[in-house]
Amino acid sequence: MQLIPPDWPLRQHSRRIRCRPHDWHVQITGQGPDVLMLHGAGASAHSFHPLVPHLPGYRLIMPDLPGQGFTRAGGMLRLGLDAMADDLATLCADQGWQPDAIIGHSAGAAISLRMAEVLPRPPRAVLGINAALGPFDGFAGWLFPKLAKAMSASPFVAAIVTRMASKRSQVESLLKGTGSSLTPDGVALYQRLVTDPRHIEGTLGMMAQWQLEPLIERLPQIMVPVLLIASDADRAVPARISRAASAALGRAEYAEIAGYGHLVHEEVPERVAALILPFLGRNSGGLSLVAEAEPRG
């Protein structure tokens, strides 16, 4: 599935960028201050396409994470949190991007915060949507990483998982398990992703190499303004995770949306954007092009 289908969301804004160690797929649209947008594990940049029309006045830069979507990983040993943040920072430097803000969904929020630590010019704002900033609870915290490592070590597992999850009903059930109900078109996009063994392999590799605890310990030292948006019906990352992280961070705000799940930015993008835009306006170092163009009283 490395060829980007012509009907893929925002296909006209896709580009391939070779920046070692990965062959990146990035979608770039809009004009204005740079905003980097990072999707969560198992998704791709397509996850943001419902949100894009609601964020005018910014240049939105949306890469697929290494090994996921249409980004071909240059090796399976750089799929952890620190490695991904470093490689994304290298990509930004290579392309001359200087993100004024980074928006991350789920695990993408953790990468966003790590990038705020490693970028030579830190972003002026970080925004997390249902940010995965807490460990799995109890026995799952021990089992899941070990299971992912065992699964990612087998060359046959990705193909088996792909066959198991390729039925539409199974994909829909997995998505509903996060507390979200997507449109039929939204479900179909995830179904296309999970039928690609490379995407599954990249996702399993990310899970196997994920080490979140050092970042969690450093949250009080991160002084970039942060907005954490949570949804109270999220079954994948409970809202209490974002509440706790916002309390630990040095300069954080917390907002909650009622009635939606983990993929809230796909379900009600206009409500998520209504929280994002004012925060960007206050903290991204300047007004968007839209705001600048508005007539003055």
Has residue 48 been placed in a domain?
yes
135 — pLDDT class (breaks 50, 70, 90): confident
Residue 176 within a domain: no
Inside any domain, residue 185: no
Q: Where are the alpha helices (DSSP H) in 11-132?
A: 81-95, 107-118
Give the mean pLDDT of 4-18. Answer: 97
Q: How far apart are the first and last CA of the chain?
A: 52
As for how many domains the chain has, the answer is: 1
CB burial of residue 70 (10 Å; 0-12, 13-18, 19+) = buried
Provide the pLDDT confidence category of residue 169 given band limits of 50, 70 and 90: confident
pLDDT of 94 > 70? The answer is: yes
CB atoms within 10 A of CB 156: 9
In a domain, 207, yes or no: no
- Which stretch of 153-167, 236-250, 268-282 has the lowest confidence by average pLDDT? 153-167
Q: Is residue 293 part of a domain?
A: no
Q: What is the pTM of this model?
A: 0.92
CATH code of the domain containing 33: 3.40.50.1820
Domain span at residue 256 reads: 11-135+212-286
Average pLDDT across the chain, whole number = 90
Q: Is residue 109 part of a domain?
A: yes
Tell me whether residue 131 is in a domain.
Answer: yes
Residue 244 belongs to a domain: yes
